[in-house]
Amino acid sequence: MSQSQRARIARLESRVRHYAAERTAAFHSDGGLDEDGYLDSPLFERLISHAVILAYLIKFGEPKIGERLSEAWKRTGYQGTEDPFVYQGSMIVCDDLRSTVFPGLPGRNLKEKLNLIFETAPAWLIWFTQAEETAFMLDLKLPPDFLDAVKFARSPGPWPKLPSYAFEPQLRGEDMKSSSPLERYYLRMAGLMDTRVSRRQRGRQVNRAALPHRDPVRWPDA
């Protein structure tokens, strides 16, 4: 990797980390938009790298509960030398996968290819990797049983890059705080499935469970 590439990725990493911190206070930030009001290109590319690498891991690595994701990555057969679990490496790995692997996957374009994988992904893996945040911002689908996974505790994690460690299922404590408006939305939606909640409480939760604002996205044709 050249010095200019390292500098570019470092700037992008700083920008995305700032945006990730901002989402804890407000999911929408004008700092993440381009001059036309769309999700800006650097942020879009960072989110795409998260989605692409996770989709590749799901399709070829068969991640397992209790196993480090770095072990599942070894099963994918990826031949590159860059580390997909660090910011710098993930951008390079994403570009590599988009040019070599994704053209051969089902789907007419990148968004459709990702949707076909995300909507059939293990719900626990989407939740563990905070991919529901990426899916929301990129307008991607989630597995139909996704709400079953939000009852599990998770650490804030390194979003928007993948954690290399294992998912150890433990029920979420009542005192655990949510890290974003989107997480609060899904927690409220999951609460609707609790038969211990009264009809009146359920109705109040429905009124409060509104999706945060989503910025429009420009997707490439391929």
Report if residue 52 sits inside a domain: yes
Report if residue 170 sits inside a domain: yes
> What CA–CA distances, in Å, run from 53 to 61, 91, 189?
11, 9, 28
Give, as one character, the DSSP assignment of residue 121. Answer: S
What's the rounded Cα separation, in Å, for the pair 216 and 76?
A: 32
- Given this model, what pLDDT does residue 74 score? 97
Q: Are 138 and 48 in contact (CB under 8 A)?
A: yes
Q: For 9, what's the count of Cα atoms within 13 Å in the CB-facing half-sphere?
A: 17
Handedness of CA 159, 160, 164, 168 (dihedral sign): positive
Element (H, E) at 13: helix 3-22
Report if residue 89 sits inside a domain: yes
Report if residue 215 sits inside a domain: no
Report if residue 222 sits inside a domain: no
- Tell me the pLDDT of the chain (222 aa) as tens digits: 566 655 554 554 555 445 444 543 443 444 556 666 678 888 899 999 999 999 999 999 999 999 999 999 999 999 999 999 999 999 999 999 999 999 999 999 999 999 999 999 999 999 999 999 999 999 999 999 999 999 999 987 789 999 999 999 999 887 777 778 888 889 888 874 344 455 555 455 445 557 777 888 888 765
122: its two tokens: 């293990």
Whether this prediction's pTM lies above 0.85 is answered by no
The boundaries of the domain holding residue 131 are 3-208
- Given this model, what pLDDT does residue 125 score? 98
Q: Are 91 and 45 in contact (CB under 8 A)?
A: yes
- Given this model, what pLDDT does residue 1 score? 56
Report if residue 166 sits inside a domain: yes
Phi–psi pair at 123, nearest 5 degrees: -60, -40
Total domain count, the chain: 1
